Structure formats: C-alpha cells, structure tokens
Amino acid sequence: MILEKLNDLIRKFEGLRLKPYLCPAGVPTIGYGHTGPEVSIKMKPITEPVAEAMMVQDAATFATASANLSPVLYFDSDKHSAIADFCFNLGTTRYKASTLRRKVNAGDWEGAQEELQKWVWGGGKKLPGLIARRKAEALLLK
C-alpha cells in the first residue's frame, strides 16, 4: 500500500540522515526515521536509495497497521496518510489507546483534528517540529 502523501510527510518531518543517530527519545535511528533491532549507533552509513527503500517499507507497515485499527481510513487516502504518519511518529500502541482513534473511528474529523494538537509535547515542552507535523496531518483530515 503506497500513500504518496504519507511518504512526503515522513520525508519532510523526519529528514534524511545516512549515518545512525539517537532520536530525541534515545532510540538508534537511521535514514528517514527508521528504527528497529538492526539499527545501532555503530552501524555503517547507508545510501540514499537504501534509506528510501526503508522508508517506503516502514510507510507501508504503518499504513496497514493504522487502517487495521481504523478501517474507515481505507476510504480516503489523505486521512489515511495523516493517521499513518501519526502512527509512524508515535507508534500504533499509542494510537490504539487514544481518543484520536475513537474520533477517527466515529468519523469525527473535526474532533480528530483537535486531538492531534494534543500530541506536540516532548520532554515536558511543546516542540515546534511536532506542532508543525500535527498541523500538516490535521490539514489532511479536512
């Protein structure tokens, strides 16, 4: 499942880093926000095509997972991209237990837009990058 707007959101908000790094949560990361057991700070840098392939695979994984949690997403690629990006950023576990998911499943898109704005905190403060990301996602829920 390829959602081009999802890929665009990931590219824009994750950025591309070919060398491994620790994300703000302290998780080893590489490429466009790719994490997993195979990623370590000591791994060799990757190429841009490898990063792109990882991102496409990760995007497909979160697109499928978000739609499984909210089947209503199958009917609108913009809304699907927004929620899949949220899941890519914060994980499906948080989405699964969230009021955001309840709003999405109820088709309450205005309520879902409002809920997205609550997910902008990191380390006890509002983060400009998360504020911008949630705003971009909310625009796709209209």
Please give the helix or strand (H or E) that residue 60 lies within, else none: helix 48-69
Catalytic residue check, 14: yes
User: pLDDT tens digits, residue range 7-49?
Assistant: 999 999 999 999 999 988 889 999 999 999 999 999 999 999 9
- Choose the catalytic residue: 23, 38, 48, 110: 23
- The CATH code that applies to domain 4-140 is 1.10.530.40
- Choose the catalytic residue: 14, 87, 115, 137: 14
Average pLDDT, the chain: 96
- Is the whole model's pTM more than 0.85, yes or no? yes
Alpha-carbon gap, residue 36 to 48, rounded angstroms: 18
Report the pLDDT value the prediction gives residue 26, as an integer from 0 to 100. Answer: 87
Tokens for 87? 């899941």
- Whether the Cβ atoms of residue 6 and residue 84 lie closer than 8 Å to each other: yes
Catalytic residue check, 23: yes
Report the pLDDT value the prediction gives residue 122, as an integer from 0 to 100. Answer: 85
Strands 17-22 and 28-31 come out as: antiparallel
